[in-house]
Each structure stands twice: as C-alpha cells, then as structure tokens.
C-alpha cells in the first residue's frame, strides 16, 4: 500500500471520492473495503492499475509517461514545460489520472505517480533509470565512485554529496557538450544511439576495457553503465541532456481526423432489422443441424474447413457467416463438446435459449461476440485462423473489437467512416496499449462481423451497435453469462426494436412455394425449413415444398393434420399443397425400421408372455417378436435390473453367447425440472435458466460509508489473545485459522452453535464478535465468537 495514496484519499470530500470510485469499480467489488487503507491497497494493485490504463486515451498515458521520466515528484508547471505545451492543455489529463487514482497530488501540490504505473513503464520515453540508481548500486564500489569524481573533476566528499554533484553535472547539456568536445572520435555517435534508441543496447564488452575507445571513455565518466559484459545502459539524466533542451516527448491531445460521409439513417435501420433476425434464425438452424450431425474437431483442435463448409451448405449460410456464428455459439455455451457424441452438440442452455423471445436470444449472441477472445474473420498472412482454434492474441482481440466499435459510436449521427486507416489511428488513440499491427488486422474483421450481426451498416454504427458499445463492462470469454450486457435496458430496447419488423406469416402459392416478404421470425423460418427447401433469401425469402421436404417433416414425428394446422396458422394453405401433404402422409410409414435396445429370450413361451404382460415392467416397452423372443426399449443393464426387482432371475449374455456376471450401476436421482420443448420433446434442467442479475456497486454509497467509518475502530493487534479467550469452543488450530481471517483476510467456513454455516473472509474483531464478509449473504455480518463451534479452510 502507498502511504502517499492513503494520505491523499483522506483529504478527499464525498464528491471527489465518489468520482474516483465510479472510475475504479474494481476497488469496490465485493467484498467491498470498509476503510480507506484497504481501499488504497486495492487502488494500488498492479493488475488493477494495468486494467485501468488499458481504458485511458493516448494523451493521459503520454502525460503519465512524461511525469515518470521527470521523476517521482514534479509540479504541473514543470511537466507542461517538459511537454512543450501550456499548462491548460496538460491540466485536464492530469485531472483524469487523479480521478482514476493513477496519480495524485501530495501535501506540497507535487504530482506522484502510482507505483503500478511505474512498474508498467520501466523505460518511460525511452529513458533509463536515474543516475543515482546506478551510483547507489552495490556494483559501484566506493573506490569506483571516487575515481568517477576525479575523472569528472569533482571535489572529494561524502557519497551522497558526490552523487548529487555528479548528477547535476551530467544533467547539464552545456557541460556535457563541453565534455564531448574532448572525447575520442565516435563517442558522440555512440552516445546518440543510446540516447535515442536505448536506453539498453547490446555492446562488445571488450571495448569497455580497451584504452582510448569511446566505450571506455563513456564508462569512466558515468555516461554508460554495464549490468553485464555484453549489455550497457544510459542513465536518464544523460539521455535527456544529449537530446537537448528542445526535446519534448510526444503529446497528442486530440484524436486524428477521421473522414466521414453522410448516410441515410432509415437505410441503416433497415439493414439492422434485416440482419438481427437473420442471425437468430441461422444460429438456431446451425445448432439444430449439429444436434443431428455432431461437429467433429481436428486432432490439432478446432473445426476443419470441410465441416464448416458442410454446415454452411446444410443451413443456407455462407462460409464466413458459419465461421462467425459457430464461434459465437461456442462462447455463448450453446455449443459444446460431447464425448459420447464424438463432436460438438447443442447444450442444455440451447434448449433454454430457444424458448426465450427473439430479442433475448439476440442479446445472448451479441454478449458472446462482445467478449469473444478471437476474431472469426481476421486474416493473418492472408489466411483465416482455424474455427474455434487457439488464438495467441486472446483478450487483445476483444479489446481491439471494442476500440473499433467505440470509434464508430463516437461519430456524429447519420455519418459513416470513409477512411479505414483513420479508423485504425483513431482506435489506437482511444486504446494506445493495443498492438497496432493487431489492430490493423482486426479492424476490417470487426466491420464485417458487425455487418452480419446488425451492428454496422454502410460503415456506420446502428442503434444496436451503439447500445453495445456504450457498455463498459463486457466480461470474460470464460464467463458462462454476462448479465450486465444481456440485461442492459438500452440494449433490451434496441434489440426489441431490431426484431420488431420480423414477419410471422407467409404467402403460399399454388406452385408449392412460400414467400416471406421481409425477415422471417425464427419460429416461421424453423417451420418452413422443416417442411420445405429454401431457394432464396434477402429482402424476400422463398421456400419450395416437395415430396422429399414434406417427408422430412414427417420423419420428425409430424402428422399431416399437424403440419397443415401449423402451416394454416402462418398463411392460407392452397389446395395443391394440401394434396401434396396428404399424399406423402398416405405413403409415409409403409415400411418401418425399429430400434431395439436389447433382446430377452427364454425357452418357455408362457414365461415370456407373462413377462410381456407384467404391469410393473411396462416401462421396458416389451414387444413380442417371436414366441421365445422379447424386444426391450431399454438397455440391457436397466432391463436386467427391472426383471430382478420383480422376482425374475435373468442373466446377461454377450454377443458371443457367453453368460457374464456384471454389477448393476446405481444411478443418481434427477432433481431437475421438466420443460416441454417444441416438437413434443422434454428437457430436464438442474439450474435456473439464467443467473440472477446483480446491480453494480453504487460509488456514492460506498464513498459515504468509507468517510463515515474513517477514524473508527481499527484492528488492535491483539487478534490471537482475543480469539483465544472468546472463541473457547474451538481447538487451537481452528483458532489460528480464524486469526488468519482477521489478520490476512483469508476465506474460511464456520459453523455456529445452531448449525448454521457461512463462508467468511476479511474479518474484524469488535467486542467479542467477528464482523466479517459473508459470501452467502453478500454483506458484512457479525458472528459472536463464543457461538463459533468449527472453522475449516475454504478454497476457491
């Protein structure tokens, strides 16, 4: 924890502290801090600092880097002078760093930069460590320091005084220039390379001990230091002196200009309302296809090109669309690997997803794309990556996607981007820590993927895309759900409007066609895809009925009356179509093929007839195939168990005819709930469809709590004595574990005298009670020490 940061937090009023917490929601995530010292510890966490820096624009990071280059404590006047701009241009960006707790003013008004930022930039502005860092190193002996002073012409004195004088001399451009006038030939060029392309460079170590060489001359005067034989570094003060007083670090207070062209907002909305329902419909079709034909994976991982093309052909998608939707469905957990199927198949979440309204289904897909850590249509060396294969860029791809869509969201209404290079430059200005080559690869893919999802049209952002881009919290690809995205009110409204124009009826023609004049709803498209073949898509979609397509529908268990009734609900069925359906139904089922799970045989026909008529064995679905042969609908192990439960003594027989003895496997009871699915199928779910949405923490509420508790009770340093005296029901080892809950904030599970259990952490002792965070309650609760009867470790 940074004591200077804590001191600054104590000076903040409620309004300023609220602003800091609003910009740093990570600092007040559960279990939220109860004191300012805990808050300061969270704000200074290195991983959290890096995450915050990724969300800051380029000028803020340029200011932070320049401040680090000048030293730990500088004022805004010196910083503006170093940047070569007026103070008024620097002040807003310094304020932004203050509001994110990446920098703060100390008691004297000087700027201090967070240690996490300093650890990120080990060489700010391409500059090395300060000269005192090298001179105070254990590698520089007292004799070496005295030799340096003699070489520089400095008077002998205490070590600290010598270091200060040497730093002043080597920081002065005039005195350094005078020294270089007497240097060996080639010294200036050597030092210029370190000053502009350093601070660390590979060198020939032998030249640093060769008399008369530029390397030895620079090393003897403290202009270069060698941490090892073949590497040399230049101190920060020397590099700045060589760059000269006219040097100013880069400062880009305004984003690059982005050329735009006007677009028709109605045309943009029209494309959005065409693309959004199409995405939902195609995802449902692809998942239904994988339910019938599991999608195998390559040995090296991912889905092969042949399978992607086959799936695209079967579902009416193009190859790029199939690539994108496959990866979205996998991230949304609608598609997963199944060992028994030997491929990717729909998950139970798909059965829940398909029962939701179309807008909710669309938001699940958009949420998955927003956090997806791969780019389906990104080309590397002119080639696409493997579908669902590993992407080394990982989370950087997701951040590039958000940066590009964020630039489009900042464009004025009814304008489109007309400059792809400007789009990449502007995205880099808003997300400067992203790798620019990666950003250049991802930007075209983001635009193309956005068009397919209804987020981009005519190179401008749609209302649906604008609502998605406004969400700061995206979640991680490994999250099973991101309720912040899926339940955002603005996104809910936009997704509902995007799907409001879907058609739920069709025009049936006497030529056995069905025409939908507009984007079909997923339900209508599913019905027509089941009973007809799609011939075209676009502004209007056309399906054609044939004996083969109608038979395909009846193969799923649909009767002629059921199919005609479903078609009549979406349009007027012409007589030729009714004749076709009834004619196919009349011939359907002339030949049957039955699946048999196992065979029950006996030499006594009377015994088999008794078994076939046994009421308690009805669940086996027994059918008499011959006087001595019964067919069971259940596997052999379940059939054996059922027969034995009802007093019979069957034995299993292998395919070779040999009798074997096996142990029955006891199955776990299913405690889920049943849901009726379309087509008469039943699905069982053990968990609620979606996790409950938890509102984000309120910054003002936490600011008030922190300010009200500041100066209150603190840990008294007598943790073990208090717990040993008050928690008398616990053995010594468990008392020690409880002490770690208080002193180190570890997690533990406790049991109270009334049998209640809780998982706790971040505890404090107050008058015989343990005030700790309870994960089950989602709040801090008080537990009397005398009532705790057991403490055990709880591991994540």
DSSP 155-206: PP--HHHHHHHHHHHHH-HHHHHHHHHTSPTTHHHHHHHHHHH-SEEE--GG
What whole-number distance in Å separates Cα of residue 96 and Cα of residue 543? 58
What whole-number distance in Å separates Cα of residue 448 and Cα of residue 369? 13
| Per-residue model confidence (pLDDT) at position 688 | 43
Q: Once rounded to an integer, what is the mean pLDDT over residues 439-462?
A: 94
- Among residues of the chain, what percentage have pLDDT more than 90? 29
| Per-residue model confidence (pLDDT) at position 591 | 64
Instruction: Estimate the share of the chain in helix, then strand, then coil, as percent rounded to the nearest 5.
Output: 50, 15, 35
Of 672 and 609, the one with more pLDDT: 609
Q: How confident is the model at residue 690 (pLDDT cuts 50, 70, 90)?
A: very low
- 200, 228 contact by CB (below 8 A): no
Q: Once rounded to an integer, what is the mean pLDDT over residues 161-167?
A: 88
What whole-number distance in Å separates Cα of residue 370 and Cα of residue 358? 18
Is the pLDDT at 323 greater than 90? The verdict is yes
- 230, 158 contact by CB (below 8 A): no
| Per-residue model confidence (pLDDT) at position 677 | 39
CA-closest candidate to residue 113, choices 73, 56, 77: 73
CA-closest candidate to residue 778, choices 793, 750, 758: 758
Q: What is the mean pLDDT of the chain?
A: 85
What whole-number distance in Å separates Cα of residue 343 and Cα of residue 295? 5
3-state secondary structure of 632: strand
| Per-residue model confidence (pLDDT) at position 641 | 84
The tokens of 722 are what? 């208090």
What whole-number distance in Å separates Cα of residue 656 and Cα of residue 650? 17
- 49, 116 contact by CB (below 8 A): yes
Is the pLDDT at 404 greater than 60? The verdict is yes
Of 470 and 694, the one with more pLDDT: 470
Q: How confident is the model at residue 85 (pLDDT cuts 50, 70, 90)?
A: very high
| Per-residue model confidence (pLDDT) at position 217 | 93
Q: How confident is the model at residue 479 (pLDDT cuts 50, 70, 90)?
A: low
Q: Once rounded to an integer, what is the mean pLDDT over residues 208-237?
A: 90
Q: Which helix (H) or strand (E) holds 683?
A: strand 682-685
Q: How confident is the model at residue 667 (pLDDT cuts 50, 70, 90)?
A: very low
3-state secondary structure of 485: helix
Beta bridge partners of 380: 383
Compute φ and ψ for 441, nearest 5 degrees.
-75, -35
Cβ-based burial of 697 (10 A; exposed 0-12, middle 13-18, buried ≥19): middle
Q: How confident is the model at residue 651 (pLDDT cuts 50, 70, 90)?
A: confident
What whole-number distance in Å separates Cα of residue 523 and Cα of residue 158? 86
534-565 per-position pLDDT tens digit? 887 666 788 899 998 888 888 877 888 888 89
Rg (CA), the chain: 36
Which region among 37-46, 80-89, 243-252, 476-485 has the lowest average model confidence (pLDDT)? Answer: 476-485
């Amino acid at each position: 924890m940074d004591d200077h940061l804590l001191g600054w937090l104590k000076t903040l009023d409620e309004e300023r502290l609220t602003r800091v917490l609003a910009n740093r929601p990570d600092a007040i995530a559960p279990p939220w801090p109860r004191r300012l010292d805990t808050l300061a510890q969270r704000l200074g966490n290195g991983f959290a600092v890096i995450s915050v820096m990724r969300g800051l624009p380029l000028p803020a990071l340029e200011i932070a880097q320049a401040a680090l280059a000048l030293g730990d404590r500088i004022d805004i006047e010196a910083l503006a002078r170093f940047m070569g701009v007026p103070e008024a241009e620097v002040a807003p960006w310094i304020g932004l760093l203050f509001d994110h707790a990446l920098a703060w003013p100390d008691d004297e008004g000087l700027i201090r930069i967070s240690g996490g930022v300093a650890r990120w930039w080990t060489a700010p502005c391409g500059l090395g460590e300060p000269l005192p860092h090298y001179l105070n190193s254990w590698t520089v002996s007292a004799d070496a320091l005295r030799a340096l002073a003699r070489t520089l012409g400095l008077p002998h004195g205490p070590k600290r005084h010598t270091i200060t004088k040497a730093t002043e001399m080597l920081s002065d451009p005039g005195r350094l220039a005078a020294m270089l006038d007497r240097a060996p030939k080639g010294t200036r060029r050597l030092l210029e390379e370190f000053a502009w392309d350093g601070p660390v460079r590979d060198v020939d170590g032998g030249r640093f001990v060769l008399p008369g060489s530029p390397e030895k001359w620079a090393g003897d005067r403290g202009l270069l230091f060698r941490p090892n034989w073949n590497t040399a570094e230049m101190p920060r003060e020397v590099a700045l002196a060589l760059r000269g007083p006219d040097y100013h670090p880069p400062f880009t207070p305004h984003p690059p200009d982005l050329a735009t062209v006007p677009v028709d907002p109605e045309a943009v909305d029209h494309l959005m309302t065409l693309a959004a329902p199409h995405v939902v419909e195609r995802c449902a079709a692809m998942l239904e296809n994988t339910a019938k034909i599991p999608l195998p994976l390559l040995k090296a991982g991912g889905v092969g090109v042949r399978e992607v093309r086959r799936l695209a052909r079967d579902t009416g998608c193009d190859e790029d669309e199939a690539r994108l939707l496959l990866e979205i469905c996998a991230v949304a957990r609608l598609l997963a690997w199944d060992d028994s199927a030997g491929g990717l198949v729909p998950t139970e979440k798909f059965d829940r997803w398909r029962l939701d309204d179309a807008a909710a289904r669309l938001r699940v897909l958009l949420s998955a794309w927003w956090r997806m850590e791969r780019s389906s249509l990104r080309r590397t060396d002119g080639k696409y990556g493997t579908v669902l294969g590993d992407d080394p860029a990982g989370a950087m791809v997701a951040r590039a996607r958000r940066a590009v869509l964020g630039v489009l969201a900042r464009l004025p209404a009814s304008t489109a981007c007309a400059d792809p290079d400007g789009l990449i430059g502007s995205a880099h200005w808003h997300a400067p820590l992203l790798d620019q080559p990666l950003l250049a690869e991802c930007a075209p893919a983001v635009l193309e993927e956005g068009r397919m999802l209804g987020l981009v049209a005519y190179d401008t952002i749609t209302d649906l895309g604008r609502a998605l881009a406004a969400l700061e919290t995206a979640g991680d690809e490994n999250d099973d759900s991101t309720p912040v995205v899926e339940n955002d009110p603005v996104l809910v409204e936009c997704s509902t409007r995007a799907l409001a124009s879907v058609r739920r009826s069709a025009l049936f023609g006497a030529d056995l066609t069905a025409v939908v004049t507009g984007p079909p709803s997923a339900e209508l498209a599913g019905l027509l895809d089941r009973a007809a073949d799609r011939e075209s898509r676009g502004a209007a979609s056309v399906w054609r009925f044939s004996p083969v397509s109608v038979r395909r529908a009846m193969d799923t268990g649909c009767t002629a009356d059921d199919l005609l009734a479903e078609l009549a609900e979406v349009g007027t069925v012409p007589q030729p179509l009714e004749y076709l359906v009834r004619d196919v139904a009349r011939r359907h089922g002339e030949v049957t093929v039955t699946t048999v799970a196992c065979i029950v045989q006996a030499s006594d026909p009377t015994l088999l007839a008794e078994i076939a008529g046994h009421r308690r064995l009805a669940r086996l679905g027994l059918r008499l195939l011959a006087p001595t042969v019964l067919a069971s609908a259940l596997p052999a192990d379940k059939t054996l168990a059922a027969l034995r439960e009802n007093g019979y003594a069957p034995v299993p027989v292998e395919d070779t005819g040999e009798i074997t003895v096996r142990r029955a496997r006891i199955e776990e009871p299913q405690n889920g709930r049943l849901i009726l699915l379309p087509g008469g199928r039943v699905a069982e779910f053990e968990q609620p469809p979606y996790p409950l949405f938890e509102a984000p923490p309120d910054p003002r509420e936490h600011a008030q709590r922190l300010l009200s508790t500041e100066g209150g009770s603190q840990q008294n340093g007598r943790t073990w004595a208090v717990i040993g005296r008050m928690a008398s029901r616990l053995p010594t080892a468990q008392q020690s574990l409880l002490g770690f809950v208080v002193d180190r904030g570890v997690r533990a599970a406790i049991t109270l005298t009334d049998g209640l259990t809780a998982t706790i952490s971040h505890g404090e002792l107050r008058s015989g009670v343990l005030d700790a965070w309870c994960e089950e309650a989602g709040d801090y609760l008080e537990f009397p020490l005398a009532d705790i009867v057991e403490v055990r470790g709880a591991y994540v």
